[in-house]
Amino acid sequence: MIFNTIKSVLDKHAPLKKKNRIKRNHQPEWVTEEIKSLMYQRNKCHKKGLFDHIKVLRNKIASLTRKSKRNFFNNAIEDNRTTNVLWRNIKNYI
């Protein structure tokens, strides 16, 4: 009885949050095979509990992602001089 009362109060004031992972059907063009393989390695290390190695991989993935995005958008700007095409590219990948 007291357990149910406490549980109902906790559910009301501190409910459990559910997080859904949404996976894209098509990855953006700036996601390379190298980035995907590093993500796979990072996830494997996370399952094994190798937290020092996770930090190194996480930082490497972040820097490669930034470089890849920068190159992709710079190429989109240089190749497409019209603003319509440029904004379409930007809206698709943000």
Other beta carbons less than 10 A from residue 31's beta carbon: 18
pLDDT of residue 9: 86
Residues 35-67: pLDDT tens digits? Answer: 999 999 999 999 998 989 999 999 999 999 999
Confidence check: pLDDT of 94 > 70: no
Pair 60, 38: CB distance under 8 Å = yes
pLDDT of residue 22: 67
Residues 11-32: pLDDT tens digits? Answer: 888 887 777 766 767 777 788 8
User: Which of 5-9, 27-31, 57-61, 84-88 shows the highest mean pLDDT?
Assistant: 57-61
- DSSP for 26-71? S--TT--HHHHHHHHHHHHHHHHT-HHHHHHHHHHHHHHHHHHHHH
Residue found under tokens 């992709």: 72
State mean pLDDT over 69-85.
Answer: 79
At 81, is the pLDDT very low, low, confident or very high (cuts 50, 70, 90)?
low
